[in-house]
Amino acid sequence: MKALTLPGRSVPAAGTTPRPRRRSRRFNGPLLAGLILFGLLVLAAICAPLITKADPTAQDLTQALLPPGSRGHLLGTDRFGRDTLARLLYGARIDLRVGVLAVVSPFLIGTVLGLVSGWFGGWFDTLVMRIVDMVVAFPFFVLVIALVFALGPGTGSIYLAITLVGWVAYARIVRGEVLVAKNQEYALAARASGLPTWRILLRHLLPNVVLQAIVFSMSDIVLSILAIVTLGYLGLGVPPPTPDWGSMIQDGQQFMLTHWYLAALPGFAVVITGLALALIGDGLVERMNLR
């Protein structure tokens, strides 16, 4: 039952020319740069007490509005004499933590709902998609702000508000991927071989559809950090005096002519965080395309 070949030759059909398909490298440029940058940000936030001795909430009106480079205050002080560097670092603790954690439950809820509604279709799918349509009719920031207002101040409200609004994006992405994947022949083969549905969903579909959701979660973290910062700027975020980049920008806004850096510096912090996550997202896409 061998293919017709000359005697004394092996069957070369089987991988004698190992295809030098470019091995998908674990890390590529953008991914590595993004991970390092984000890692440094997280490290700085965790090690805040080691980097500066200053207390981010300690007021000292005699030291108010010092310019960057002052003795003992590398990045200067705000109008209450609080150290800007310390506030930036401790602000990172709040903003990064809330930003990353706020994405976890939307990710899980949206992925599960998208997987189930895409696979089974029917009335459940219709219901989920109707709710999705309703939620996406609202601009993200508007609904989050309105919900935080209704729920009252505090980080708990922020988590809940972002979860209530954020899951729809994941549900949409995952459902779309599932609709494509479930008609791919590998999914048909799994069904034809009689594997149970839960196994097909978890073992065959999920690993193939979840990547898009992971890539999206990178920009979603940016979005949720933007939401927290915006809430802080509007005075609806983490209550003072806890430092937060958004409230720092708001504080600094009134000294724009004389001390522009007070509003500018926390903004740069957000921009750099966004850059790091965008690089990670781009890197992940590039890695996926290589496959």
Give the SS3 label for residue 40.
helix
Near another protein by CB under 8 A, which window of 52-60, 87-95, 116-124, 272-280? Answer: 272-280
Q: Which is nearer to another protein, 37 or 59 (CB)?
A: 37
The number of residues that bind another protein (CB under 8 A) is 88
Q: Which of residues 186-205 bind another protein (CB under 8 A)?
A: 186, 188-196, 199, 203-204
CA–CA gap between residue 271 and residue 256 (Å, rounded): 19
Distance in angstroms (rounded) separating the CA atoms of residues 124 and 146? 28
Q: Is residue 164 exposed (0-12), middle (13-18) or buried (19+ Cβ within 10 Å)?
A: middle
Measured distance CA(249)–CA(246) in Å, rounded: 5
Rule CB under 8 A: which of 251-270 touch another protein?
253, 256-257, 260, 263-264, 266-267, 270
Tokens 């910062």, residue located: 229
Sign of dihedral through CA atoms 232, 240, 98, 67?
positive
Reported for 200-206, long-range contacts at CB under 8 A and 24+ positions apart, including other chains, are 201/115, 201/116, 201/119, 205/115, 205/119, 205/178, 205/181, 206/111, 206/115
- What is the phi/psi pair of residue 235, to 5°? 80, 20
222 close to 207: Cβ distance less than 8 angstroms = no
Q: Does 13 bind another protein (CB under 8 A)?
A: yes
Smallest distance from another protein to CB 119, Å: 14
- Binders in 33-92 for another protein, by CB under 8 A: none
Q: Tell me: does residue 14 bind another protein (CB under 8 A).
A: yes
Nearest-approach distance from CB 186 to another protein, in angstroms: 4
The Cα 108–Cα 29 span in angstroms is 29
214 to 243: interface string for another protein, x by CB under 8 A:
-----x--x--xx--xx--xxxx-------
Contact positions with another protein (CB under 8 A) in 115-174: 130-131, 133-143, 145-147, 149-152
Q: Given the complex with another protein, which of 59 and 261 has the nearer CB atom?
A: 261
- Report the nearest approach of another protein to the CB of residue 82 (Å): 20
Comparison of 38 and 52: residue with beta carbon closer to another protein: 38
Q: How far is the CB of 170 from another protein (least distance, A)?
A: 16
